[in-house]
Amino acid sequence: MTAPTAAPPAQQLPQDVVHLATAEGLGTFWETFLPKRLGAVRMTGLVLFALFGLALFVLPGLFFVWMLVQSPNLNRKQAAKRIHLFERGLIVADHTGPVGCFRWDSMAALQQITERYANGIHVGTSYLYTLYTRDGSTLKLTNFYEQPERWGAAIQQEITRAQLPGVLESLRRGETVRFGDLAVTTGGIATPKRGAVEWSQIQGLEVKNGVVFLKKSGKFLPWSNTQVGQIPNFFLFLATVDAIRRRAF
């Protein structure tokens, strides 16, 4: 992700966010993502369901009332949540101030993107990103925030940009780089269940329906299949495998 051409000045950010970004060396402020407000149609539907439920069933009605009062449209605390992207990392904040700070060069992210269908018709996409720091701090981001396809891709792309040189240098030194259960070296790749296989035996890598398939030459079935949601820094993993197979390091 590149910095927006008309990014708001950092002075418009809350001072506690600015101070934390400065202390952590996050560099230039890029962009802020807000909670996704419910549209008029959905708000109207929730109101009607709440009224109908309270009139007839009580408990279902209370559930829809809870959904209404938890929406950013009506809940100030929910509406105050933010994702702030910077040149070298991100800060997540709520009404109390920053609740998480992550640097691209030292964090990990697991992504789960789920396409939802009803009777064969696509009805939506769910996003879940779990962020980790080296000290063990974690934080989850979902499509509660607007434009998850943008901030999610930015997280993966910037982690890759910041960490790929170091990963390739570790491989040059003969070290093993791990992406969850996948252990990668310049010679091959290994998993706890499948053991090891040399890169010369890997016919191809395919990502389909949220699963990474590694195909071994001469085998009809994939040598391994791993859920994308189980591979930390998935974009970095793909870039690493591509560099090894092209010997581009």
Distance of alpha carbon 26 from its chain centroid, rounded?
A: 19
Tracing tokens 């952590």 back to the chain, one arrives at: 24
CB-based contacts of 122: which residues, under 8 Å, 6+ apart? 115, 116
**Could you tell me what percent of the chain has a pLDDT over 90?**
59
Domains and CATH numbers, the chain: 10-36+83-164 (2.30.29.30), 38-71 (no CATH), 165-246 (2.30.29)
Q: How far is CA 216 from CA 42, 71, 198, 225, 248, in A?
A: 48, 48, 9, 12, 22
In degrees, to the nearest 5, what angle opens at C-alpha 95 toward C-alphas 91 and 97? 40
Q: How far apart are CA 71 and CA 243, in angstroms?
A: 44
* pLDDT tens per residue, range 7-30: 455 448 999 999 999 999 999 999
Rounded to two decimals, the pTM is: 0.84
94: burial class by Cβ within 10 Å (0-12, 13-18, 19+)? middle
* pLDDT tens per residue, range 29-75: 999 999 987 666 564 654 554 455 545 555 555 554 545 566 677 68
Sheet bearing 97-103, strands edge to edge: 29-33, 82-86, 89-94, 97-103
Of 173, 176, 156, the closest CA to residue 231 belongs to: 156
| Across 80-84, 88-92, 127-131, 210-214, least confident range | 210-214
pLDDT of residue 46: 46
The token pair at 67 is 């959904």
> What's the Rg (C-alpha) of the chain?
22
